[in-house]
Amino acid sequence: MTRNDRWQLLPPLLGAFCAFVVVFALAACTNNPYPDSDNGQRVLYTSFAEAPKSLDPAVAYDTAAHEITGQVHDTLLEYHYLKRPYMLIPGLATTVPKAQPQPDGSVTYAFELRPGALFQDDPCFELGGAGKRTREISADDVAFELERIADPLVNSPVIDPFSNLAGFAEFSARLSKLLKSEPGFKSLPARERYQRALPLPGVRVVDATHLELRLKAPYPQILYWFGMPFTTPVPWEAVEYYSGKNGHPHLADHPVASGPFLLSEYDKQSRMVLDRNPNWYGAKHPEWRAPGATYPSDGEASDGPAGRLASAGKALPFLDRVDFRREKESIPAFTKFLEGYYDTSGIIRESFDKMVKDERLSPEMQALGMSLDKSVIAAVYYIGFNMDDPVVGGKSGDVSKKLRQAMSLAVDVKEYTRLFMNRRGVPAESVLPPGIFGYEADYRNPYRHVDLDRGKALLKEAGYDNGIDPKTGKPLHLTFDTYDTSPDGRLRYQFFVNAWRQLGIDVEIAATNYNKFQEKVHDGAYQIFLWGWVADYPDAENFLFLLTSDMARTKNNGPNTANFSNPEFDRLFLAMKTRENDPERLEIIRKMRGIVEDQCPWIELYHPEDYSLLHTWVHNVKSAGLSVPTLKYDDLDPSLRQQKRTAWNKPVVWPAYALAVLLLLVIVPGVLTFLRERQ
């Protein structure tokens, strides 16, 4: 073939390519993001923004990971789906164990596991015998997981609460020592390593279905940790097999679990799929009517009218599959929800006014059959003062206390939530959010409403008359430290600066990047900051510990970023922490609340509210307000969904024809003119 011949092939090749492009474009011309084979199936479609970091249950601590680990890992205990305040019910355990105080001051808990419950099918079980695909869950698997939490190589972020188990810290220390002293120890299988470092007297396997825990001192909150995937039974076979070696994935990417769903597809950058687990005890033994495998028949007063009791008594789960698609941007995700391609959604700020009118679903959305589910998240957002700071901190005694109280009296949180959060927040009066024992709806913090006159009077008493610093003769200058450098963030911070300006105080926003901010916090070089805390479990201890001396950020690098230190508060905390929820505990919490109210290390702002939109074909959804698994309770009507999707997503094709005509109108006269001129 000559050079000229090759060039003659160009036009037909181009033609074929153009034909391929047109066929490709026509085949692609639909906005349905799912394969046609999915139509009519009981699949829940939902989105995720952040990829999970790890699915290893001993490590996974982020909400994104819990969205998966919570559904695939069965826990010994779980939360009642509908009741509030949150209530623990038996899961894989047959009952919720009671604390058994011992003469030596320790406390024991006896767990009984459901006999005959199985792990999901997985090739890893061949390690226990050729051809094995699963095996029964044993108390040893729970003990093994607790040992993994203590393992420095696993580096579990929740090692601290489990240090309440007798001998746990010592077991962990022995593992560390062996890792340092024996070069080959690290590469031994986990089971062998733990055998070498035993005993762990706080965890006793009585027999295959009985496990006894011994705590050094009362710590009732330990039960909440058994409602989280950290303490799920993990088979040793999975840890050995999924080591990231021999072509096998790492356990962090391949959970081997026992929950109602199993992870059948995991590409965390784009898609995660859960399918029903046929080995789940609820699926194998629906006749047990176990609390964790049966839809509840009682709940809050609002659940009946909302239709959430229609499935009462039915066996779980209802869905065949859950399909998670990654959506890094919120607007495309919300658009797909409006097109019917996601079944539930949060509400983006840009569309809030269209979706919600007067805190209710707008008539347009109601006409589409949508419903709105609201819940208060077990969290608190606050402005904190660095109590180590010489001006706003505790060392200045009453002067700084009155300054903090005055600043609190200037902040209108209702206006803040209206301007920046579409009112999706309950104004906070204290540290504790609704739904947590110790929260009292009728409590009013005297410093958490706007009273500028009282604020000015307090400032005068503090020596800052009209906000003037007597040392400089100028308005008192403070800094508000943040890592939020976005324009939106600037507006939010400016809101507070403007509020304090009304008192005559000059607050400067010191916005830096996250790393620099962390550096400032680490060095104690900050005055005022805005922070939040989302509960791990629904107990007052999980909020009030944020203000204890042991947790001070600057001294101990703990989460008490205000560096608040009050001996009486610390003493009350210890007393409160070890008590069950009884009237005496409530009284202690009230005293602690009084100290925080008076000392004002925080300006409590709000408890965020979660607004979820549900399509008409979705049933039983109730937001938990906590990071807990709920998908086994959700249900939907796939045929109604298909009908609505078809009606809502007919492509608009006339612009394509219009464009083609326009191109012809532009090109043809030009070509004709050209040919005429050249002739």
Partner 1 sequence: MLAYILRRTAYGVLVVLGVLFFLFALFFLVTKPDDIARKAIGDKAMPAVIAQWKKNHGYDRPLWPGPGHMKDNMLVEHYRRMLTFDFGRSDADDTVILDRIEKGAGPSLSLTLPEFVLGLLLGIGLSLFVAFFRETYIDRSAVVLSVLAMSVSSLLYIIGGQYLIGKELRWFPISGFDPSWAVRQRFLALPIVVGLAAGIGSSVRFYRTVFIEDIYKDYVRTARAKGAGELRIMTRHVLQNAMIPILTNVVTEIPFLLMGSLLLEASFGIPGLGSLTVDAITGNDFATLRTMVYIGSLFFVAGQILTDISYTIADPRVRLD
Query: Which positions from 490 through 529 interact with partner 1, judged by CB under 8 A?
Result: 513-516, 518-519, 522
Contact call for residues 28 and 39 (beta carbons, < 8 A): no
Residue 234 or residue 588: which is nearer to partner 1 going by CB? 234
Q: Is residue 5 left, alpha or beta, with left meaning phi > 0 and alpha meaning psi from -120 to 50?
A: alpha
Site for partner 1 in 6-65 (CB under 8 A): 7, 10-11, 14, 17, 21, 24-25, 27-35, 51-54, 61-62
Residue 447 or residue 573: which is nearer to partner 1 going by CB? 573
Q: Which two tokens stand for residue 245?
A: 């070696």
Contact call for residues 54 and 404 (beta carbons, < 8 A): no
Smallest separation (angstroms) from partner 1 to the CB of 557 = 4
Q: How far is CA 672 from its chain centroid?
A: 65
CA distances from 419 to 94, 423, 425, 501, 509 (A): 48, 8, 11, 18, 19
Site for partner 1 in 311-330 (CB under 8 A): 325-329
Amino acid at 358: D
Smallest separation (angstroms) from partner 1 to the CB of 3 = 9
Q: What span, in angstroms and rounded, lies between the C-alpha atoms of 595 and 571?
A: 12
Residue 24 or residue 398: which is nearer to partner 1 going by CB? 24
Site for partner 1 in 73-132 (CB under 8 A): none
Q: What span, in angstroms and rounded, lies between the C-alpha atoms of 386 and 674?
A: 78
Residue 472 or residue 515: which is nearer to partner 1 going by CB? 515
Tell me if 270 contacts partner 1 by CB under 8 A.
yes
Site for partner 1 in 339-378 (CB under 8 A): 339, 341
Work out which of 116, 128, 189, 244 binds partner 1, going by CB under 8 A.
244
Among 333, 242, 288, CA closest to 46? 333
CA distances from 485 to 349, 489, 531 (A): 19, 6, 15
Residue 130 or residue 647: which is nearer to partner 1 going by CB? 647
Smallest separation (angstroms) from partner 1 to the CB of 538 = 16
Smallest separation (angstroms) from partner 1 to the CB of 157 = 5
Establish whether the linkage from the previous residue to 161 is cis, with ω within 30° of 0: no
Amino acid at 443: Y
SS3 of 270, please?
Answer: coil
Tell me if 489 contacts partner 1 by CB under 8 A.
no
Q: What span, in angstroms and rounded, lies between the C-alpha atoms of 161 and 183?
A: 30
Contact call for residues 128 and 32 (beta carbons, < 8 A): no
User: Can you state the angle between helices 487-501 and 413-420, rounded to 10 degrees?
Assistant: 160
Q: How far is CA 427 from its chain centroid?
A: 21
Residue 16 or residue 575: which is nearer to partner 1 going by CB? 16
Tell me if 670 contacts partner 1 by CB under 8 A.
yes
CB atoms within 10 A of CB 221: 19
Residue partners of 508: CB distance under 8 A and separation at least 6: 477, 478, 479, 480, 497
Q: Quote the DSSP letter at residue 340.
A: T
Work out which of 651, 665, 676, 679 binds partner 1, going by CB under 8 A.
651
Residue 267 or residue 465: which is nearer to partner 1 going by CB? 267
Q: What span, in angstroms and rounded, lies between the C-alpha atoms of 515 and 103?
A: 49
Smallest separation (angstroms) from partner 1 to the CB of 269 = 3
Smallest separation (angstroms) from partner 1 to the CB of 649 = 5
Work out which of 649, 660, 662, 663 binds partner 1, going by CB under 8 A.
649
Residue 23 or residue 575: which is nearer to partner 1 going by CB? 23
Residue partners of 571: CB distance under 8 A and separation at least 6: none
Residue partners of 115: CB distance under 8 A and separation at least 6: 136, 208, 209
Residue 314 or residue 326: which is nearer to partner 1 going by CB? 326
Residue 471 or residue 650: which is nearer to partner 1 going by CB? 650
Residue 17 or residue 446: which is nearer to partner 1 going by CB? 17
Q: What span, in angstroms and rounded, lies between the C-alpha atoms of 42 and 30?
A: 22
Tell me if 193 contacts partner 1 by CB under 8 A.
no
Question: Of the ranges 99-107, 211-219, 247-255, 436-444, which one interacts with partner 1 (CB under 8 A)?
Answer: 247-255
For residue 60, the surrounding DSSP H or E stretch is none
Residue 126 or residue 648: which is nearer to partner 1 going by CB? 648
Question: Of the ranges 120-128, 154-162, 472-480, 486-494, which one interacts with partner 1 (CB under 8 A)?
Answer: 154-162
Smallest separation (angstroms) from partner 1 to the CB of 455 = 32
Tell me if 247 contacts partner 1 by CB under 8 A.
no
Question: Of the ranges 500-508, 572-580, 587-595, 650-658, which one interacts with partner 1 (CB under 8 A)?
Answer: 650-658
Site for partner 1 in 552-581 (CB under 8 A): 556-559
Smallest separation (angstroms) from partner 1 to the CB of 222 = 17
Work out which of 126, 160, 359, 568 binds partner 1, going by CB under 8 A.
160
Q: What span, in angstroms and rounded, lies between the C-alpha atoms of 493 and 409?
A: 17
Residue 471 or residue 678: which is nearer to partner 1 going by CB? 678
Tell me if 157 contacts partner 1 by CB under 8 A.
yes
Site for partner 1 in 531-550 (CB under 8 A): 536
Work out which of 287, 652, 657, 665 binds partner 1, going by CB under 8 A.
652
Among 275, 274, 262, CA closest to 324? 274
Work out which of 99, 127, 159, 348 binds partner 1, going by CB under 8 A.
159
Q: What span, in angstroms and rounded, lies between the C-alpha atoms of 624 and 460?
A: 45
